[in-house]
């Protein structure tokens, strides 16, 4: 049962001192339910869940940074087709990293 939801738009995302600046807004659906909170985006497909909103946001940012490190920075030859698709989505989204 969803108790509350809202849509966020981010122009950048910061995780552990790294900021990813986007070419377009990243649309994130935040849902708060009994027992937890979730951050979810469809393009690219990312997800973060936590017992609190802050925890869910942190996990979402971790998911983004992990996908960036593991996929966007990897050679295509080492990736599956699904991973290549995610890599392309991330590269299209991120304008720069500071």
Domain carrying residue 77: 2-97
User: By the 8 A CB rule, do 2 and 18 touch?
Assistant: no
pLDDT tens-digit readout, 55-82:
999 999 999 999 999 999 999 999 999 9
What are residue 38's DSSP bridge partners? 31, 49
**Domain tally for the chain?**
1
Taking residues 36-40, report their average pLDDT: 97
Q: How far is CA 72 from the centre of its chain?
A: 13
> What span, in angstroms and rounded, lies between the C-alpha atoms of 46 and 67?
9
pTM over 0.75, yes/no: yes
């Amino acid at each position: 049962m969803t108790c509350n939801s809202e849509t966020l738009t981010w122009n950048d995302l910061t995780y552990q001192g790294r900021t990813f600046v986007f070419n377009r807004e990243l649309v994130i659906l935040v849902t708060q339910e009994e027992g937890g909170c979730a951050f979810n985006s469809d393009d690219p497909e990312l997800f973060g869940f936590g017992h609190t909103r802050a925890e869910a946001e942190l996990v979402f940012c971790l998911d983004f940074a992990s996908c960036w490190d593991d996929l966007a920075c990897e050679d295509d030859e080492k990736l599956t087709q699904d991973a290549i698709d995610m890599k392309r989505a991330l590269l299209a989204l991120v304008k720069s990293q500071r």
